[in-house]
Amino acid sequence: MLEKVLKGSPKYYMWLAFLGGIIGVGAITYLFQLKYGLALTGMSRDVTWGFYIAQFTYLVGIAASAVMLVLPAYFHGYKQFKKIIIFGEFMAIGAVIMCMLFIVVDMGMPQRMLNVMLHPTFNSVMFYDMMVLIGYLCLNAIIGWKTLECERFQIAPPQWVKYLIYTSVIWAFSIHTVTAFLSQGLPGRHYWLTAVLAARFLASAFCAGPALLLLLLMVVKKIAKFEIGKEAIKTLTIIITYAMCLNVFLFLCEVFTAFYSNIPGHMHPLHFLFAGTEQGLPWVTYWMWIGAVLAIASLVLLIPTSLRENMKILPWALGMLVLATWIDKGLGLIVGGFAPSPFETWALYAPTVPELLISLGIFGVGAFVVSILWKIAIDVKKEAGTL
Amino acid sequence: MYNSKYVISVLVIFLAVFSYPFWGNLASKDYTGPKLSLPADQKQCIEPVEFMRSQHMTLLNQWRDSALRDGKRVYVASNGATWEASLQKTCMSCHTNKAEFCDTCHLENAVEPYCWTCHVPPKGNE
Amino acid sequence: MKRSRRQFLKVASLSVAGLGAQLAAGGMTKAAAAVKPSYKEDALALKAKRWAMVIDTREFASKEDFDACINACNTAHNIPQVPGKTEIKWIWKDAYEHTFTETTNKYQSKEVEDREYFMLCNHCENPPCVRVCPTQATYKLESGIVAMDYHRCIGCRFCMAGCPFGARSFNFTDPRPYIKDINPKFPTRMIGVVEKCNFCVERLDEGKLPACVEAAPGKIHFGDLSDPESEVRKLLEENYTLRRKPALGTEPGVFYII
């Protein structure tokens, strides 16, 4: 089916070339970072994880969200999702590849990355993170490819695919739980040291991922005349809405615990993120408030059924949701973990231009992977008449 | 065979190019190997020359693990002599000329060990 | 020749694989038949089951008092003097409210409040940094020291996120230009690895006390916490001491006499 990648409209080639350009810029910037070190980023001794790890955290959620389609379709027999599952699985592949790339560019010694496998450390969450990400990538690639191939030849997929699918359901939950465990077991980082972090991660993933998927599918609808299915959109938006409500609720639980207990360790990070310090408001405070407003606004547009089912309003609601979750779970989460520092001081962090260019390059890689995989899926479905 | 003219001729050219390392230097001088500048005072290294030539990197890795992870910094050589397991303090105390000893062989063999980004070579060589 | 091209390729690749395996096996047995090495500890090495440090903060008043220790460490270990927020420090000083964040007191004695306090790696008994390191580049020795192998560090900085004391530094750039006088007896580190105080394990292994202890005799005490007769245990019995962030359960090994 790979041959589908090579035949397309001029716009398709221009899009890939454009992405190639972005990837090239990112790659060249990365060469500078390899030479001069992570000093090119905005990180410092007190803020040792930044934009890269923020994107990794967010994208693991996007990758895991494929399970929100797989679970209803395969475990509960909800046929309306079966049409769009392949797009979810392929998006998950793109997201996992981006996750891995973000980790690689964040490492001080990427040439030694195989040390994690050469010296397996069973008490380290990061070891498990590497293993489950690789496993999830393989699972989605095999399942996606096999089911698409079978759809092309109009036969039922073989039995073993079913077992892989059930494995992928559990695996999807686990990849994001493991990523949450990276942060939530660290004794010195009070913003992250909460049992609810894993639950928050899953809730935010299960609204952001499907929302992003729906938005991208709406784009595909315009380009390839692809019908997502009214039922599918209805059910998916309901899932998204509930997940976002849970996400916001869990965050408000955090706020309550922090401010009702009045414990400085709990309050300080939230206070920094939303009210700054005595020295004033850092950029991240404006950032977080924009995220909060967008989150509430997206819920206002998603909860009432008439607004949720309005196809003109829905893309805006989904876009705001994706942006809000990106702000909260991306840079907001990471900056909050390092504020205050272990010395109760406030170290300010902002991503630098090289950092952003490299990140853009990696997003380009993700977009490239998703573009070519979705092109294959669309063309195979056209050929099989199931578009 | 179809196109036998082209297949045979290209095959012959390919074999000729591929076997160049074997016949290319027939006319030139014999390869003598790198000229090393050996330490003036010591005649015997920690282990015999053949072993050191092929195994010094393995030995250094074992030294690293023993010194850093086991706390055992004394190496008992095969002839019973004891040495401190330290690249800088032991090896470099005799092999004081990095450029004319270490680098000569490494350059010839296109080996680029990055030990020296951390380990300090003896003064007067850089 | 009745044999097919496919059969020819099968036989040819098997022979090449067999030849290659033989060569490789020959090379490996040659290496294994090499010298059988053995290693032992230095006879002078200082030994302990749990190294710990007691800092008498009353004895440190002037800038010179602090600098003696900090400079001793910096010169012994080739610590680069990187300016700004990407600095690297193994031992440094700071104010009370930055050091003892769990025992802040608005009405603290002014003298205690104005004093400065050393900060360094606490060589905890339950180190979170060791727990999170994915390659065992940081690990605990049997002597209680939390050590680092810079050859293995991949620079993921998980240990820095895990350390509640901010004891670790990262080489954001090449450190060599920032080292004034290189000590030829100790290596530097390279770009992209994390580093921290190592309780001078290389000095302990040749019978010497840590550089900062030697630079401040009678002010910083060092010894084996598991030995009831040691100097540090006696000091802990006779004086009230604080540790940094004890509620986190990491069991730091650096005590401060206030």
Top residue of C81, C136, C156 to mutate, by most chain A CBs within 10 Å, is C156
Residues A11, A257: Cα–Cα separation, whole Å = 52
pLDDT tens by residue, C159-185: 999 999 999 999 999 999 999 999 999
Closest Cα in chain C to A343: C98
- Burial environment of residue B116 by CB neighbours within 10 A (0 to 12, 13 to 18, 19 or more): middle
- Residue B65 in domain: yes
* C65 pLDDT above the threshold of 80: yes
B126: pLDDT confidence band, cut at 50, 70 and 90? very low
pLDDT tens by residue, B25-36: 888 888 888 888
Chain C residues lying within 8 Å of B117, measured CB to CB: 176, 188, 190-191
Q: Which residues pair with C95 in a beta bridge?
A: C116
- Residue B29 in domain: no
Task: Pick C190's closest partner by Cβ from B72, B78, B117.
Answer: B117
List the domain range (segments joined by +) for residue B65.
Answer: 41-126
CB contact under 8 A, A121 and C135: yes
Chain C residues lying within 8 Å of B64, measured CB to CB: 149, 151
Shortest Cα–Cα distance, C54 to chain B (Å): 24
The CA angle C247-A349-C136, to the nearest 5 degrees, is 55
pLDDT tens by residue, A320-341: 999 999 999 999 999 999 999 9
Mean pLDDT, residues C209-221 taken together: 96
Task: Pick A48's closest partner by Cβ from C97, C153, C160.
Answer: C160
Closest Cα in chain B to C140: B69
Subunits that touch chain B (at least 3 Cβ pairs < 8 angstroms)?
A: C
Residue A346: strand, helix, or coil: coil
For the record, the structure tokens of A146 come out as: 């096999």
Q: Please give the pLDDT value at position C22.
A: 86
* A215 pLDDT above the threshold of 70: yes
Mean pLDDT, residues A348-370 taken together: 97
Residues C168, C86: Cα–Cα separation, whole Å = 11
Chain C residues lying within 8 Å of B66, measured CB to CB: 39
C27: pLDDT confidence band, cut at 50, 70 and 90? low
Q: Which residues contact A283 (CB under 8 A, 6 or more apart)?
A: A350
Q: Please give the pLDDT value at position C30.
A: 57
Closest Cα in chain C to A32: C173
Residues A344, C121: Cα–Cα separation, whole Å = 17
Closest Cα in chain B to C183: B120
Subunits that touch chain C (at least 3 Cβ pairs < 8 angstroms)?
A: A, B
pLDDT tens by residue, B71-92: 999 999 988 889 999 999 999 8
Q: Please give the pLDDT value at position C158.
A: 97
Q: Please give the pLDDT value at position A43.
A: 97
C204: pLDDT confidence band, cut at 50, 70 and 90? very high
Is B88 an 8 Å CB contact of chain C? yes
Beta-sheet pairing, C38-40 with B82-84: unpaired
A134: pLDDT confidence band, cut at 50, 70 and 90? very high
For the record, the structure tokens of C255 come out as: 């005590």
* C116 membership: H or E segment, kind and range: strand C116-120
pLDDT tens by residue, A137-185: 999 999 999 999 999 999 999 999 999 999 999 999 999 999 999 999 9
pLDDT tens by residue, A42-89: 999 999 999 999 999 999 999 999 999 999 999 899 999 999 999 999
CB contact under 8 A, C35 and B119: no
For the record, the structure tokens of C89 come out as: 């420090």
Beta-sheet pairing, C51-56 with C254-257: parallel
Given its phi and psi angles, is residue A91 left (phi above 0), alpha (psi -120 to 50 degrees) or beta? alpha
Q: How far is CA C243 from CA A316, A373, C146, C218, C248, in A?
A: 53, 56, 17, 19, 11
Q: With contact defined as beta carbons under 8 Å apart, do A366 and A95 qualify?
A: yes
> ipTM more than 0.85?
yes
Residues C224, C232: Cα–Cα separation, whole Å = 7
Is B80 an 8 Å CB contact of chain C? no
Chain A residues lying within 8 Å of C79, measured CB to CB: none
Q: Please give the pLDDT value at position C104.
A: 86
* C69 pLDDT above the threshold of 90: yes
First to last CA, chain A: 16
B41: pLDDT confidence band, cut at 50, 70 and 90? confident
CB contact under 8 A, B73 and C42: yes
Residues C166, A161: Cα–Cα separation, whole Å = 48
Closest by alpha carbon to A344, among A186, A182, A187, A188?
A188
Lowest mean pLDDT across B10-19, B107-116, C201-210: B107-116
Shortest Cα–Cα distance, B1 to chain C (Å): 13
Mean pLDDT of chain C: 93
For the record, the structure tokens of C179 come out as: 């080292």
Mean pLDDT, residues A123-130 taken together: 96
- Residue B90 in domain: yes
- Residue B97 in domain: yes
Shortest Cα–Cα distance, C255 to chain B (Å): 25
- Torsion sign across C-alpha atoms C101, A273, C161, C168: negative
- Longest distance between any two alpha carbons in chain A, whole Å: 66
Alpha helices in chain A (DSSP H): 10-36, 51-64, 67-70, 85-106, 115-118, 125-152, 159-184, 196-224, 230-261, 264-275, 283-302, 305-308, 314-327, 333-337, 353-384
pLDDT tens by residue, A274-290: 999 988 899 999 999 99
DSSP chain B: -TTHHHHHHHHHHHHHHHTHHHHTTTTSPPP--------SS-S--SS-HHHHHHHHHHHHHHHHHIIIII---EEE-TTS-EEE--IIIIIHHH---IIIIIHHHHHHTT----GGGTSPPPTT--
CB contact under 8 A, C153 and A188: no
* B125 pLDDT above the threshold of 70: no
Closest by alpha carbon to B45, among B86, B90, B4?
B90
Beta-sheet pairing, C38-40 with C51-56: unpaired
Is C147 an 8 Å CB contact of chain B? yes
Kindly list the domain boundaries of chain C, sorted by start residue.
Answer: 1-37, 51-257
Tell me what percent of the residues of chain C surpass a pLDDT of 70.
Answer: 95
Given its phi and psi angles, is residue C182 left (phi above 0), alpha (psi -120 to 50 degrees) or beta? beta
Q: With contact defined as beta carbons under 8 Å apart, do C130 and C146 qualify?
A: yes
For the record, the structure tokens of B6 come out as: 């082209």
Structural domains counted in chain B: 1
* C39 pLDDT above the threshold of 70: yes
Is C37 an 8 Å CB contact of chain B? yes
- Residue B125 in domain: yes
Q: Which residue has the tokens 């063309």?
A: A379
Lowest mean pLDDT across C12-26, C99-113, C149-163, C164-178: C12-26
B102: pLDDT confidence band, cut at 50, 70 and 90? confident
For chain B, what is the radius of gyration of the CA atoms? 22
For domain C51-257, give the CATH number: 3.30.70.20
Shortest Cα–Cα distance, A66 to chain C (Å): 28
B97: pLDDT confidence band, cut at 50, 70 and 90? confident
Top residue of B118, B123, B125 to mutate, by most chain C CBs within 10 Å, is B118
* C32 pLDDT above the threshold of 60: no
Q: Please give the pLDDT value at position C37.
A: 73
CB contact under 8 A, B120 and C187: yes
Mean pLDDT of chain B: 88
Domains and CATH numbers, chain A: 2-384 (1.20.1630.10)
- Torsion sign across C-alpha atoms A36, A38, A40, A45: negative
pTM for this predicted structure: 0.91
